[in-house]
Amino acid sequence: MPREGIFIRVLGGGTIKVGDQINIIKKDV
């Protein structure tokens, strides 16, 4: 599954890459 090109909407309402989302989730925790 190509992580590049896949974007997921975050709770904030913005769109970020899957890899970035994982990092943000870890930071929030």
| HSE toward the beta carbon, residue 17, CA cutoff 13 A | 8
Give the pLDDT of residue 11.
61
Give the pLDDT of residue 1.
45
- Is this model's pTM higher than 0.75 or not? no
Residue 24: which H helix or E strand, with range? helix 18-28
Give the pLDDT of residue 28.
61
Angle (CA) 8 12 18, round 5°? 25
- What the block records as the tokens of 5 is 């090109």
Give the pLDDT of residue 29.
58
Summarize pLDDT for 1-29 with one digit per residue, the tens: 455 555 666 666 666 666 666 666 666 65
